[in-house]
Amino acid sequence: MRLLVVGKLSGQLSTAVKMAMSAGAKVSHVESTDAATHALRAGQGADLLMVDYDLDIAGLIAANEAERIHVPVVACGIAADPKRAGDAIRAGAKEFIPLPPEAALIAAVLAAVSDDNRPMVVRDPSMQQVIQLADQVAPSDASILITGESGVGKEVVARYVHQKSRRANRPFISVNCAAIPENLLESELFGHEKGAFTGALARRIGKFEEANGGTLLLDEISEMDARLQAKLLRAIQEREIDRVGGAKPVKVDIRILATSNRDLSQAVKEGVFREDLLYRLNVVNLRLPPLRERPGDVVAMAEFFVKKYAAANGMPEKPLSAEAKRRLAAHRWPGNVRELENAMHRAILLAVGPEIDEMAIRLPDGQPLAPADAGARTAQAAAAAAETATRSFVGQTVAEMEQQLIIETLEHCFGNRTHAANILGISIRTLRNKLKEYTEAGVTVPAPQMGASAA
């Protein structure tokens, strides 16, 4: 993990820095908040900022966000004043570390805020084959395309490949192509020169240059627009990039990894993804099976999440009961590893008694997991429901059926656009365009509910 310390290196802060380094952090230092923003803008990447609470933390966070730099902040200070510590948290700091520091507290805060604790938990033979292939190709510089449903752990595998590569001691930079608006993604990837466009107040180093010497992960690559795909193809082929507004190309040495939860071959046929770019990215394909196809991993992952969230919540670690394990293994987990993780976090909070029993493991709607022998009954019910649904579509146009399906899926996802797009198998951009059409036609579109993303 890359830690940027902001403040004067007094004796106590120096001690905290040494403890962070002992906990595995790669530490750099600046004395002022302006210098911190300048360093991040100039490509000195950081996964976490540790900032003296005597400095303007709110101003630092605002300046970073104005540059679209999103790095979590922890505050620290000598002779901890509860009011000032509270002010730092209200200003946007995630945690407060009192000085003089404790080594255990430093390590715990770094792990909790950075969330680096994402090891590869693999027991099922189908997933072991994927990891065996990853081990085989990791030492090369070949581009790798990691595919699979949303929530299966594609970024975790990408980090694993980086850690097994010859670039393991160099930066690992991840860019979510679906989360950044089209008009900003080019600058985010390639950087820009001062005055390149309105709001470009200073030179900004992009993710390609920040990842120089290391690995760049292009998450959800299918969401990149066609014009930017052409620029990306050139960057991969020529190993050089052009900053927005730049006068000359910049050489880069990076390894490209990409992920997608869509079928990119089908996207090529539909004309929304470049075939030549797909060939460049897909030198090796790592397809991650959904959790329902790797039952051997379910209980092992559940036990890992129990340990993780028991520690995070300061609660005793409890074993899973035999019936809980049976129900976990039998459930289909449509949200994959992400859904399992959330379920186990809830289970830690809901469990009573010496074990985590089956009633503590609940679905997002609050219902417990079905008994392990309920699979056949569930399949029969699903078949009957499918037949009823098919009959209800008779007499409708394709456009009407599509609209009904999209609206009902969005209602099922409590208005969460990203989840709905994943279920429907379409891009978030396509979904947004459809919803815009429906709204303009006077159709009521479900709004995101509290806690649901409108992404």
Token look-up 């006068």 returns 247
Give the fold, CATH level 3, of 291-373: Helicase, Ruva Protein; domain 3 (1.10.8)
How many Å apart are CA 126 and CA 288, to the nearest integer? Answer: 9
pLDDT at 377: 52
pLDDT at 393: 60
pLDDT at 65: 84
For residue 297, give the 3-state DSSP assignment. helix
Largest CA distance in the chain: 77
- Token duo for residue 407: 């609206």
Domain 2-114 matches domain 129-287 at the CATH topology level: yes
User: ∠ CA 261-263-266 to the nearest 5 degrees?
Assistant: 150
pLDDT at 446: 87
- Token duo for residue 93: 């700091």
How many Å apart are CA 229 and CA 222, to the nearest integer? Answer: 10
DSSP state letter for 448: P
pLDDT at 384: 56
369-382: b or e for each residue (b if 16 or more CB lie within 10 Å)?
Answer: bbeeeeeeeeeeee
Sheet with 172-176: strands ordered across? 172-176, 215-219, 255-260, 144-147, 284-287
How many Å apart are CA 344 and CA 285, to the nearest integer? Answer: 30
Please state which architecture CATH assigns to domain 129-287: 3-Layer(aba) Sandwich (3.40)
The answer to whether the CB of 288 falls within 8 A of the CB of 154 is yes
Q: Are strands 250-251 and 240-241 parallel, antiparallel or unpaired?
A: antiparallel
Give the Å distances, CA to CA, from 156 to 180, 217, 414, 422. Answer: 21, 11, 27, 19
For residue 89, give the 3-state DSSP assignment. helix
Of 203, 282, 206, nearest to 240 (Cα)? 206
Token look-up 């609660």 returns 315
How many Å apart are CA 335 and CA 339, to the nearest integer? Answer: 5
The answer to whether the CB of 372 falls within 8 A of the CB of 380 is no
For residue 231, give the 3-state DSSP assignment. helix
pLDDT at 451: 45
pLDDT at 385: 54
pLDDT tens track of the chain, all 455 residues? 788 999 887 777 788 878 888 777 788 889 899 999 988 887 777 888 989 888 999 999 998 888 778 888 988 888 767 888 888 888 888 888 888 777 777 777 776 665 555 678 899 999 999 999 999 999 999 999 999 998 899 999 999 999 999 999 888 999 998 888 877 898 889 988 887 777 777 788 889 999 999 999 999 999 898 889 999 999 999 999 998 888 889 999 999 999 999 899 999 998 999 999 999 999 999 999 999 999 999 999 999 999 988 987 889 999 999 999 999 999 999 889 989 999 999 999 999 989 999 999 998 878 888 887 655 454 455 555 555 555 556 667 878 888 888 998 888 877 888 878 878 878 788 888 899 889 888 888 888 764 444 55
At residue 253, what are phi and psi to the nearest 5 degrees?
Answer: -125, 95
Contacts of 171 (CB under 8 A, 6+ apart): 2, 45, 210, 211, 212, 213, 214, 215
Domain borders along the chain are 2-114, 129-287, 291-373, 395-455
User: ∠ CA 288-294-300 to the nearest 5 degrees?
Assistant: 110
The answer to whether the CB of 134 falls within 8 A of the CB of 141 is no
How many Å apart are CA 194 and CA 201, to the nearest integer? Answer: 5
- List, in sequence order, the alpha helices (H) in 313-360: 322-330, 336-350
How many Å apart are CA 154 and CA 165, to the nearest integer? Answer: 17
Please state which architecture CATH assigns to domain 395-455: Orthogonal Bundle (1.10)
pLDDT at 213: 94
- Token duo for residue 174: 């991840």
Of 141, 273, 171, 161, nearest to 220 (Cα)? 273
CATH superfamily ID and name for 2-114 = Response regulator (3.40.50.2300)
pLDDT at 106: 77
User: For the residues of 91-133, what is the DSSP string, one character each?
Assistant: TT-SEEEEES--HHHHHHHHHHHH---------SHHHHHHHHH
